[in-house]
Amino acid sequence: MGRRNNTNVSDFILVGLTDSEEIRLVLFNLFLLIYLITVLGNAGMILIIRLDLQLHTPMYFFLSHLSFIDLSYSTVIVPKTLENLVTSNKHISFGGCFSQTYFFIFLAANECFLLSSMAYDRYVAICNPLQYPVIMSTARCYSLITAPYMIGFMDSTASVLAMSTLHFCNSNVIHHYFCDTTPVLALSCTDSLNVEITIFIFASFTLVASLIIVSVSYVSILSAILKISSTSGKRKAFSTCASHLLGVTIFYASMIFTYLKPSSSYSLGKDQVASVFYTIVIPMLNPLIYSLRNKEVKNALIRFKKKRGIRRLS
């Protein structure tokens, strides 16, 4: 990413979502509220899971890491977006732009395969409940957590190294609200086809491979649920994975819409709306989905409040 060798551009300008001052103010207040909910929700989930011993299970072990990734994911994008909405300074340094791209890809790829690990956990819990403690051992859980981080590291490193070979010598205006790959590649004054192919291959592998794991897991889960004779048993089994399935559907739908298509079909307006979903909205929704639909998390919150009440009285 050496600026002297690869570009005459010292920084970039993030155009943002709109030119209207009124709309920017509305978006600022909305995004700020969403970000505060994201921080409180995800940090709260991590804290509750860490403090409550009854939540020290594989499912909540994965969920705590998902909250950490969502919190980090949102923090990489939202603060700079908020700054750009209310100030005239829309500049981002060359290194800052590529750093944002790196961590965005790292965390996005990480979340894809973490969702796959969570789907596998639900598959084992429903399809092999008697063997669940043996299969989902501590060593297995740590391997299912380590793999997403390693894949995310390789994906982001390869993609950003490929992008760093490009030259940026003309326009420095990024028609987006963060340094996403497609609008950054559009600024290159050299042929970026090989770089686009590299990024597309890694993005395709990440999305398709993780989605296959999720799909196979849930097809097996639904098949097992349909074989349960009692209605209450079906309802209980489905409730254990319904919230995860909802979060997965929203996340993958917006990611696939944005990245698994040729760059020639890039549409600024449509892609920005999809990007808002997976960079700003989904990190807020995940803790709400998993907590509001989960009795164990609700009970943990009640126990936490009772403990604090007892400590105050004493």
- Tell whether the model's pLDDT for residue 258 goes beyond 80: no
pTM: predicted TM-score of the whole model, two decimal places: 0.87
Q: Write out pLDDT tens, residues 146-183.
A: 999 999 999 999 999 999 888 888 788 998 899 988 88
What single-letter DSSP state applies at residue 10?
Answer: -
Calpha distance 60→91 (Å, rounded): 40
CA-CA distances (angstroms) from residue 28 to 24, 81, 136? Answer: 6, 8, 43
CA-CA distances (angstroms) from residue 256 to 119, 153, 180, 183, 260? Answer: 18, 20, 15, 17, 5
> Three-state DSSP class for 90?
coil
Residue with tokens 């596998």: 120
Q: Which helix (H) or strand (E) holds 282?
A: helix 282-292
Mean pLDDT of the chain: 84
- Evaluate whether 179 touches 92 at the Cβ level (below 8 Å): yes
Q: What is the reported pLDDT for 65? A: 95
Q: Write out pLDDT tens, residues 215-251.
A: 999 899 888 888 877 777 677 667 767 777 777 888 8
Q: Higher-confidence residue: 62 or 238?
A: 62
Residue of 296, 289, 286, 294 whose CA lies nearest to 65: 286
Calpha distance 122→59 (Å, rounded): 8
Q: CA torsion sign, 143 to 155 to 247 to 281? A: positive
CATH superfamily of 3-313: Rhodopsin 7-helix transmembrane proteins (1.20.1070.10)
- Tell whether the model's pLDDT for residue 66 goes beyond 90: yes
- Evaluate whether 300 touches 48 at the Cβ level (below 8 Å): yes
Q: Write out pLDDT tens, residues 123-139.
A: 998 888 899 999 999 99
- Tell whether the model's pLDDT for residue 3 goes beyond 50: no
Burial class (CB in 10 A: 0-12, 13-18, 19+), 82: middle
Q: What tokens were used for 35? A: 């970000």
**How does DSSP assign 159-184, residue by residue?**
HHHHHTTS-B-S--EESSSS--HHHH
Average pLDDT over residues 16-44: 92
The percentage of residues in the chain with a pLDDT greater than 70, rounded to a whole number, is 86
Q: What tokens were used for 41? A: 């929700």
- Evaluate whether 166 touches 190 at the Cβ level (below 8 Å): yes
Annotated domain spans of the chain: 3-313
What single-letter DSSP state applies at residue 11?
Answer: E
Q: What is the reported pLDDT for 5? A: 45
Calpha distance 83→104 (Å, rounded): 18
- Evaluate whether 217 touches 241 at the Cβ level (below 8 Å): no
What's the angle, vertex CA 193, arms to CA 191 and CA 199, rounded to 5? Answer: 130
Q: Pick the most confident of 74-83, 119-128, 191-200.
A: 74-83
Q: What is the reported pLDDT for 310? A: 53
Calpha distance 289→296 (Å, rounded): 13
- Tell whether the model's pLDDT for residue 6 goes beyond 60: no
Residue ranges in 168-276 assigned as alpha helix (H): 181-185, 193-226, 231-259, 268-276
Q: Which helix (H) or strand (E) holds 99?
A: helix 94-127
